[in-house]
Amino acid sequence: MSTVGDRPIASPVRPVSGGVARPARPARRVRRRRRSMLPLFLLTPAVVLFGLFTIAPGIYSVWLSFRKTQVGGGLLGDLNPTEIFAGFQNYRDAFADPEFRHSIERMLTVAVIGVPATIVLATTLALCLDAKRARLVGIARLGIFLPYAVPGVVASLLWGFIYLPATSPIGGASFDYLGSRAVFFSVANVAVWGVLGFNMVVIYTSLRGLPRDLFEAAELDGAGELQIALRVKLPMLAPTLTLVTVFSLIGALQLFNEPTTLKPIANAITSTWVPLMRVYADAFVNNNIYQGAATSFLLIVMTVAATVIANAVVRGISRRSTR
């Protein structure tokens, strides 16, 4: 495909369609001169680093999941520890362990509370930001985005103090926020708190990008603001909502910071409360990176499955509502 035949040759600087930025058409460039080495040069650092720090460790981790150590002779086994092939034993151990299944259940419980809460709250807030004549918008947006600046571990510490009966400003003395039932909500709350602002801003900017003439048309037809929000804006936000849901789901499946930090003050949280804590305990406390690798890999498989399903479900819902 030649560059000349692609499109009409226009004046150099003026964009062809008059002002609105379009995603660029992928343009095949068969040059009359030598093909540029620039893309290769630009990509090399990223590719090298990616290979070194993501691909290689990822593969190594999978490989480790099929290995284990055996102690050597001697009472303390220090005579000759070796690493041997373990087949699927690490995976079998994970499946056989009822605690692992429970940890998945608990993680899902937090997810079922946290993910819908994040989506619903973020969407509601975004719609409110977009509402006509809403006041204090700028400052609210700032405040809601603030938690993003707080490291996960620190956020859990903060909320830990807030849940503690001794220091709680929200009645922690009478209600056990860290009791065996409430703890799921409490953990979910910390996670939601941390990501609410970010998701809200994503949805809001997407909202601002929607063509406003549709809203005005609806208003002309007599639709109230709420109706417009629910019937017009929401369906058009479907792709963004899908994105936000998928990322929230991935985050929920990788729940770790919040329960780990709250653990010292909550009897209800064990050291393997969610799958990633189990991975952490295996890898960082029990010196069993092999088991940790196997469990992580299982988790990744689950995450992929969940995101594929979630994607399909949300697309299905949004398609139905736009009909």
The interface with other proteins within residues 248-277 (CB under 8 A) comprises 250, 254, 256-257, 264-265, 267-268, 270-272, 276
CB of 128 to other proteins, least distance (A): 4
- Please, which residue, 112 or 226, has the CB nearer to other proteins? 226
- Torsion angle (degrees, nearest 10) of CA 77, 82, 85, 90: 50
Q: Kindly state the tokens that stand for 179.
A: 């009791």
Q: Interface residues for other proteins in 11-40 (CB under 8 A)?
A: 12-16, 21-29, 36-40
56 binds other proteins (CB under 8 A): yes
Smallest gap from Cβ 235 to other proteins, in A, equals 14
- Tell which positions 123-182 bind other proteins, by CB under 8 A: 124-125, 127-129, 131-137, 139-140, 142-155, 157-159, 161-162, 164-169, 180
Write the DSSP assignment of 31-86 as a string of letters.
-SSPPPSHHHHHHHHHHHHHIIIIIHHHHHHHHHTTEEEE--SSTTS-S--EEEE-
Q: Does the protein bind other proteins through residue 224 (CB under 8 A)?
A: yes
CB of 270 to other proteins, least distance (A): 4
Binder of other proteins out of 307, 310, 317, 318 (CB under 8 A): 307
What's the closest the beta carbon of residue 188 comes to other proteins, in angstroms?
14
| Min dist. Cβ of residue 193 to other proteins (A) | 7
What is the 8-class DSSP label of residue 1?
-
Least separation, in Å, of the C-beta of 320 and other proteins? 19
- Centre a 10 Å sphere on the Cβ of residue 52 and count the other Cβ atoms it contains: 10
Q: Name residue, tokens 């809001």.
A: 204
Whether 262 and 273 have beta carbons less than 8 Å apart is answered as no
Task: Mark 58-97 with x for binding to other proteins (rule: CB under 8 A) and - for no binding.
Answer: x-xx--x---xxxx-xxxxxx--x-----------x----
- Dihedral sign of CA atoms 123, 128, 130, 136 in order: negative
Beta bridge partners of 85: 67
When asked if residue 119 is in the footprint of other proteins (CB under 8 A), the reply is: no
Judge whether 123 and 241 are in contact, CB under 8 Å.
yes
* 23 secondary structure, DSSP code: P
Binding of residue 311 to other proteins (CB under 8 A): no
